[in-house]
Amino acid sequence: MFPIQFFFRAAERYPDRVAVKSSEETITYRQLVHRVAASAAGIHAADPTYQARIAVGGANSVHHLVAILATLAAGNIWVPLNPRNGTPELLRMVEFTSPSLLLVDRDLALRLKDCGQKMVSLERGLEGWSRQFMDERVPVPTGALSDVQAIKFTGGTTGVPKGVMQTYRAWSTTIVTQWREFGFDENDRFLISAPLTHGASTYLLPILGAGGMLVFPDELKPAAILEAVQKHGITTVFMPPTLIYAVVHEMELNPRDTQSLKRLIYGAAPMPSQKVREVQRVLGNVLATTYGQTEAPQIIACLGSQELADPRNIASVGRPTLMTDVRIMGKEGEMLPPGEEGEVVVRGDLVMAGYWRMPEETASTIRDGWLHTGDIGLFDERGFLFLKDRARDVIISGGFNVYPSDVEAVLGRHPAIFDCAVFGVEDEKWGEAVHAAVTLRPGMHVEKDDLIELVKAELGSVKAPKEVHVLEALPRSSVEKTLKSELRKSVLNARSTASS
């Protein structure tokens, strides 16, 4: 079964139920199907090729949602463009995937005006298609379940971005797995409080396929999120830890009625034990978490709110989900027993098809059928997974992946920089904050704020360093490798000294 069919089947069962609600409109399942079918016809008219790549980007909106669903319904490959990325990075993504059509909002259209690809306005374009193709029927999916549904980026580089090819089968597996783990049904109301280009997209079809409602808050700020929970009887929310912390702070200052909330799901970044306890104290026993990667989306493992209430599980990411095989592998490729640390490896229908046009990267990541996550972890005797460290250097800041090499490449282009290293440091607000250590060329000077602004302009604010440290030299090993662990330790020691 194709992923979009879960939505169409629910629309047949619940045509008059509300599917989407925003401050501007309320849309039933019947109305949403008509909009999606018309926009799918518009996309097909622009490019009738099966599996044509369609890039969709912009702020969260009903138009954005319809564009995503229409892309899936038309049998195309969805390429999400996150406006939080820097413009040069977005342009590289467009160049790399060569989409035949870009569906973007006004702000993103201005930023990508020089991309050389055909663009259609999310607002005016979709409304025009709704009038032009108002009598179109829902397309019948074709192709194979092994075909690609989406290309999502794990991070851009100054060379070639790495795009993950997620299949129809992986998406359908995500839907069924979320139903099993969270029990979504027609009474669920999901608040879209994370970007549609990011983690929130993995909840769209599980909620719509169950007959539930998607709700857009007036704005993505803590007060507005809590107001929406209270006003609309929200049952489920997905947020990165940083936003959860801000919501908890707002709740303590100005309490609202959140009794309808059953699931506050966090992912994309770890949450310290003390923060878990604080959230549970303020909002009740609603916190749950999932563990996944772009290469195996969202739900490799899951820890529900009842399990997270058990003190033994507070540092766990849960147990492997229904259709995913998760093991711990040793350095020699052997599978390790409970209690022993090794690399987390995954196989099953959730796993990606590979990296877009990067066969060597694919071969090094999927070996003998196992996806090598790069995460270090262990299982306890009860089968709960605990992540200990990441073998890769990816920094997870505010729920977003930040690749140090991306930032280092931008910093290295500044004429005053001789050498640099980018690393993550534990941070109460961000989970991990991006730090940069730099050494300068003889006789050169640069303001730290100028370096931060340089990265913001190129890669976006999420990937910009929160702090820059100017050093005489970077610590190195005997084989001249930069010791980022020593840099991190130095920052933490300085922080400890300052607080004592």
- Work out the pLDDT band at 477, boundaries 50, 70, 90: low
Give the least confident one: 128-137, 143-152, 172-181.
128-137
| pLDDT > 80? residue 57 | yes
- Work out the pLDDT band at 391, boundaries 50, 70, 90: low
Q: Which residues contact 152 (CB under 8 A, 6 or more apart)?
A: 80, 163, 164, 166, 294
Question: Residue 43: its pLDDT value, please?
Answer: 96
Question: Residue 480: its pLDDT value, please?
Answer: 57
Buried b (16+ CB within 10 A) or exposed e, 259-291: eebbbbbbbbbbbeeebbebbbebbeebbbbbb
Burial class of 493 by CB neighbour count within 10 A (0 to 12, 13 to 18, 19+): exposed
| pLDDT > 60? residue 13 | yes
Q: In terms of Cα–Cα distance, which of 357, 356, 358, 336 is closest to 345? A: 336
The CATH 3.40.50.12780 domain(s) of the chain lie at 3-379
- Domain 3-379: CATH superfamily is ANL, N-terminal domain (3.40.50.12780)
- Work out the pLDDT band at 158, boundaries 50, 70, 90: very low
Question: Residue 441: its pLDDT value, please?
Answer: 87
- Domain 395-499: CATH superfamily is ANL, C-terminal domain (3.30.300.30)
Question: Residue 444: its pLDDT value, please?
Answer: 93
Question: Residue 413: its pLDDT value, please?
Answer: 87
pLDDT per residue over 78-115, tens digit each? 999 999 888 998 999 999 999 999 999 999 999 999 99
Question: Residue 157: its pLDDT value, please?
Answer: 35
State the average pLDDT over residues 120-125: 94
pLDDT per residue over 224-271, tens digit each? 999 999 999 999 999 988 789 889 999 999 999 999 999 999 986 667
The CATH 3.30.300.30 domain(s) of the chain lie at 395-499
Question: Residue 479: its pLDDT value, please?
Answer: 44
Question: Residue 478: its pLDDT value, please?
Answer: 41
Q: In the chain, what percentage of residues exceed pLDDT 90?
A: 77
Question: Residue 406: its pLDDT value, please?
Answer: 83
CB 454 within 8 A of CB 414: yes
Please indicate whether residue 114 or residue 393 has the higher confidence score (pLDDT).
114
State the average pLDDT over residues 400-421: 87
- Work out the pLDDT band at 160, boundaries 50, 70, 90: low
**Which residues on adjacent β-strands are paired with residue 377?**
342, 387
State the average pLDDT over residues 470-495: 82
Give the least confident one: 216-230, 256-270, 379-393.
379-393
State the average pLDDT over residues 358-378: 94
pLDDT per residue over 200-213, tens digit each? 999 999 999 999 99
| pLDDT > 90? residue 182 | yes
168: helix, strand or coil: helix
DSSP state letter for 482: B
State the average pLDDT over residues 446-461: 95
Q: CB neighbours (10 Å) of residue 148?
A: 22
Greatest mean pLDDT range, 167-176, 267-276, 469-478: 167-176
- Work out the pLDDT band at 389, boundaries 50, 70, 90: low
Please indicate whether residue 47 or residue 388 has the higher confidence score (pLDDT).
47
Helical pair 62-73 and 122-132, crossing angle rounded to 10 deg = 60
- Work out the pLDDT band at 156, boundaries 50, 70, 90: very low
The reported pTM is: 0.83
- Work out the pLDDT band at 288, boundaries 50, 70, 90: very high
